[in-house]
Structure 1
Amino acid sequence: MIVPSQSTVDRRRLLFGLLPAAALLAAGCAQPKTEQPPAQPPSTPPPLALVYNGPQGCTDCAPAVATLLRNAPRPYRVEFVTAPTAAALAGAQLYVQPGGGADLDGTWRQLKGSAGVIRDWVRGGGSYLGLCFGAYLAGRDPGFDLLPGDTEGYAGSPGSTVPDDRHTVIKVDWQGKSRHMYFQDGPTFVLAANATATVLASYPNGKPAVLVAPFGKGRVGVSGPHPEADESWYAEHGLRNPDGVRLDLAHELIEATTGGR
């Protein structure tokens, strides 16, 4: 019998000692790789809304609209502007002219340089939302001339339930339902004969309070009352809304103005 030398024994021990590790390594390489979940496509950012926050705007008006838009059922990204430009509007779906002004002619001097830009943008498919003072500016002389007609003051007009420019809560007929809205010297709308417009709400004397109308490929939504008013607006003037402070009418107006886009 041939006795293996010590060096041969050591080599065998080394080889046999390495085999389990090599086998384990081979087995590990043979294991199927854990499949990674498919990459998720990047989420689409919310549409952009531009909100005017320039001269003649009240302290709370533009921020209230911004909060409304950010928390809407279909939320928006919001940027404030003081002079709407073609470049800024190009990336936006909605432009909001809030309330809060007291000097229509003075504000028009600030904005008339943007009138052509805004008209072209809405005509091309943009959406204009005018609230109270912003609704006046949707009219003409002075204004952007976006409506199939014009605006006039509701307070103190024949049959009006509001005699002056006080802050108050007004009853409206919103598509057949009685609702109450915050109001302060907002307009009503004088529509041209055979005008194409959807009246969402009427004042107690039957005149339009809230409406949406086409303008070229775009839409114009205007409201004499303030559907965006939150609880702080009522509390500041000691007012109470019999319906409770709700923002559903504001959301409905936004959807109608943008066509649900």
Structure 2
Amino acid sequence: MTGPLAALLATIAIVAPPATQSQPLALIHRSEPLASKGDAEAAARMLRQSPFKFRIQYVGPDNPLTAELLSKAALFVQPGGEVDTETAKRDFAKEIPLVHKFVADGGRYLGICAGGFVAGKEGYDVFPGKVGSYVGSPDSEAEDDDDYAIPIVWRDGKKRTVDFQDGNYFKIPRGTPGVTVMATYTNGLIAAAVATKGRGKAAFIGPHFESAPDDAAEGSGTNLDLGFELLDVLMR
């Protein structure tokens, strides 16, 4: 085709927006007190604002987690809450086998604060190593379960001040393959990391990168960029 009509069609083809793919789905556990409403919603805000622009669906008592739901999801999130590693296998009895298979088959897991405590063998068993409480660890910047603004060392070597409340660390055996350490506490313990699990990946964050300024400890600032960088490593 030649002439004015061909030129017009060519112009339309150039300026037409490209087709967009649907946004990835993130399932966030929300079930008091194991996965608190406030922490679940803070995680949702971070995921929506991230470059991945996740769609969010909450799972819990009113919308139980199922294999069918997970088959449509890219990410499962266990947010902050009140968990006990000694009872986690019982508390998450319905979710553990589903999430474990989801990650092993290629899905992604993100555990934030309490969600990190149950990422290892005490719970979902998708993250390597042994979990521990940063509070009470040698030279810890946090003395108890109050909200603190504490320094961490990001993987670029720069210190950042983050919101922290009774979070965890992992001791990962030396030489464990597929581990990317994202941040350490100032005492050298791992504060955030991503690791492979089967065909999938899992991540934990001890502090709260997702906290909004009005909810965070005074002086901790905004750290969504750290969460976005970790998500990039986790999802790619």
Shorter-chain TM-score: which interval?
0.7 to 0.9
Give the 5 Å matches for 1:11-30.
none
CA distance in 2, matches of 1:226, 1:33: 57
The match for 1:150 is: 130
The match for 2:173 is: 192
Q: Does structure 1 residue 240 correspond to structure 2 residue 222?
A: no
More helix by share: 1
Q: Does structure 1 residue 167 correspond to structure 2 residue 144?
A: no
Q: Following TM superposition, by how much is the alpha carbon of 1:134 offset from its aligned partner in structure 2, in angstroms? A: 0.3
CA distance in 1, matches of 2:181, 2:41: 27
CA distance in 1, matches of 2:138, 2:18: 58
**Shift in CA distance, 208/41, structure 1 to aligned 2, threshold 3 Å:** closer
Q: Could you tell me the TM-score, scaled by structure 2's length? A: 0.86
Count of aligned pairs between the two proteins: 222
Q: Does structure 1 residue 61 correspond to structure 2 residue 39?
A: yes
Q: Does structure 1 residue 137 correspond to structure 2 residue 118?
A: yes
**Is the 1:199–1:208 Cα contact (8 Å) retained in structure 2?**
yes
Counterpart AA for 1:214: T
The match for 2:235 is: 258
**Shift in CA distance, 212/85, structure 1 to aligned 2, threshold 3 Å:** same
The match for 2:211 is: 229
**Is the 1:55–1:107 Cα contact (8 Å) retained in structure 2?**
no
The match for 2:78 is: 97
Q: Does structure 1 residue 70 correspond to structure 2 residue 52?
A: no
- Match of 1:232, SS state, is coil
* Structure whose alpha-carbon radius of gyration is higher: 1
Larger mean Cα displacement after TM superposition, 156-165 or 32-41: 32-41
CA distance in 2, matches of 1:226, 1:122: 23
Structure 1 alignment gaps of length 5 or more: 1-31
Q: Following TM superposition, by how much is the alpha carbon of 1:150 offset from its aligned partner in structure 2, in angstroms? A: 1.9
Equivalent residue for 1:117, pick from 98, 101, 108: 98
- Match of 2:119, SS state, is coil
Q: Does structure 1 residue 217 correspond to structure 2 residue 199?
A: yes
Counterpart AA for 1:154: Y
**Is the 2:154–2:184 Cα contact (8 Å) retained in structure 1?**
yes
Q: Following TM superposition, by how much is the alpha carbon of 1:74 offset from its aligned partner in structure 2, in angstroms? A: 2.2
**Shift in CA distance, 257/111, structure 1 to aligned 2, threshold 3 Å:** same
Counterpart AA for 1:230: A
Q: Following TM superposition, by how much is the alpha carbon of 1:43 offset from its aligned partner in structure 2, in angstroms? A: 2.9
CA distance in 1, matches of 2:214, 2:83: 20
**What is the root-mean-square deviation of aligned Cα atoms in Å?**
2.1
**Shift in CA distance, 42/154, structure 1 to aligned 2, threshold 3 Å:** same
- Match of 1:109, SS state, is helix
CA distance in 1, matches of 2:148, 2:196: 30
- Match of 1:60, SS state, is helix
Counterpart AA for 1:67: R
CA distance in 1, matches of 2:55, 2:158: 31
CA distance in 2, matches of 1:223, 1:126: 18
CA distance in 2, matches of 1:67, 1:47: 14
Which string of whole-angstrom CA distances, capped at 9 and with x for unpartnered residues, describes residues 29-83 of structure 1? Answer: xxx9897757977532111111111132223111111111112122111111114
Structure 2 alignment gaps of length 5 or more: none
**Is the 2:162–2:223 Cα contact (8 Å) retained in structure 1?**
no
- Identity across the alignment (%): 36
CA distance in 1, matches of 2:56, 2:195: 23
